[in-house]
Amino acid sequence: MASTTERRLTPFVHPIRNGREFDIAVARLDVLMDADPEEGSAAHDHMELLTILIAAYEEKNLPSFMAASPQEVVRFMAEQKGLDSAELAGLLGGRSRLSEFYNGVRALSRNQIIRLKAALGIPADLLLAP
């Protein structure tokens, strides 16, 4: 017998074509994920199908994610942790080093990355310049 969740949701029978259908698909996926259907059930299959359709729509229609630069990550995390520029300068070895880093003139050294990781909790890979 089909679960309540399975009976309530009519499956998509075509690709997602517009923002309204996208919103409906995302809402349906949320309902299914909350229901945590058993693998192999119709609801689980529906959940997998919605995931594929949503991903395809996002890839085609939504702007691609732009990774933050190391400078943006440091600025954001320093603000979140309440560190001012003087404290950041101390971590990087002086105001000129901080300025060079923020202006993209100089990449972070290994020791600076270690200090920033410890002080701000930033994973080292986010501090490496692309």
- Please state, in angstroms and as integers, the Cα–Cα distance from residue 46 to each residue in 16, 37, 124, following that order: 14, 10, 39
Judge if pTM exceeds 0.75. no
The band of 130, judged by pLDDT with boundaries at 50, 70 and 90, is: low
pLDDT of 73-128, one tens digit each? 999 999 999 999 999 999 999 999 999 999 999 999 999 999 999 999 999 989 98
pLDDT of 8-55, one tens digit each? 566 777 899 999 999 999 999 999 999 999 999 999 999 999 999 999
Q: 70-127 architecture in CATH?
A: Orthogonal Bundle (1.10)
